[in-house]
Amino acid sequence: NAGVTQTPKFQVLKTGQSMTLQCAQDMNHEYMSWYRQDPGMGLRLIHYSVGAGITDQGEVPNGYNVSRSTTEDFPLRLLSAAPSQTSVYFCASSYSRGLLTEAFFGQGTRLTVV
């Protein structure tokens, strides 16, 4: 059972380039989300999805797009990379059993924009 898998683990982009961070989960979880982690800022929510075909914005959505065509995959797209998007990105998934909604995280993608 792989859990939540993120690729790539490391990436360097030039300002203005676009790229897609991949996230896949094999636990049949309904909910998936993307966070970014910056020093002194903690983890902040970028976008989330409550099921295939449904997405919504989090706290810091600008500059990012998401889509959810399948239950398993939730890619995060950077449209035109900026140095301010240098960060560590984490994808998470969670199931829902009433109030019991435990989140599981991937190992992260460390992105540097130069």
Q: Is 101 in the site for other proteins (CB under 8 A)?
A: yes
Select the residue interacting with other proteins from 19, 27, 45, 52 (CB under 8 A). 45
The C-alpha atoms of residue 77 and residue 90 are separated, in whole angstroms, by: 13
Strand partners, 63: none
Give the one residue of 68, 94, 111, 113 binding other proteins; rule: CB under 8 A: 94
Percentage helix, strand, coil for the chain under 3-state DSSP, each rounded to 5? 5, 55, 45
Give, as one character, the DSSP assignment of residue 98. T
User: Is the CB of residue 110 less than 8 Å from the CB of residue 10?
Assistant: yes
Closest distance to other proteins from the beta carbon of 8 (Å): 14
Report residue 23 as tokens: 């996230």
Instruction: List the structure tokens of 7.
Output: 């690729």
Question: Judged by CB under 8 A, does residue 12 bind other proteins?
Answer: no
Question: What is the nearest approach in angstroms of other proteins to the Cβ of residue 58?
Answer: 6
Smallest gap from Cβ 49 to other proteins, in A, equals: 9
Catalog residues that contact other proteins under the rule CB under 8 A. Answer: 31, 33, 35, 40-45, 48, 50, 58, 90, 92, 94, 96, 99-108, 110
